[in-house]
């Protein structure tokens, strides 16, 4: 399970960088074109915080 969270975390970070660069018009990656919503970036942040919250559990 820990390995799966690491893979998901790496994927989310890479996708988040693509979203940010697309919003800044550095690259031609448009989130709204693929997902038809602007709420995807806040959902991405929530998913990343969920992955980070597993570190606090003993």
- Residue-wise pLDDT for 26-58, tens only, equals 777 666 666 666 666 677 777 777 766 655 554
Q: What's the pLDDT score for residue 5?
A: 72
In terms of residue numbers, what domain contains 44? 2-56
Number of domains making up the chain: 1
Token pair for residue 19? Answer: 């979203």
Q: Indicate yes or no: pTM above 0.75.
A: no
Q: What's the pLDDT score for residue 33?
A: 67
How far is residue 58's CA from residue 44's CA, in Å, rounded to a whole number? 25
CB atoms within 10 A of CB 42: 10
The pLDDT-based confidence of 12 (bands split at 50, 70, 90) is confident
The pLDDT-based confidence of 18 (bands split at 50, 70, 90) is confident
Find out whether 27 and 19 touch, Cβ atoms under 8 Å. no
């Amino acid at each position: 399970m820990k390995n799966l969270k690491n893979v998901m975390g790496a994927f989310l970070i890479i996708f988040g960088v693509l979203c940010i660069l697309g919003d800044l018009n550095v690259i031609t990656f448009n989130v709204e074109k693929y997902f038809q919503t602007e709420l995807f970036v806040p959902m991405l942040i929530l998913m990343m915080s969920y992955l980070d919250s597993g570190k606090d559990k003993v």
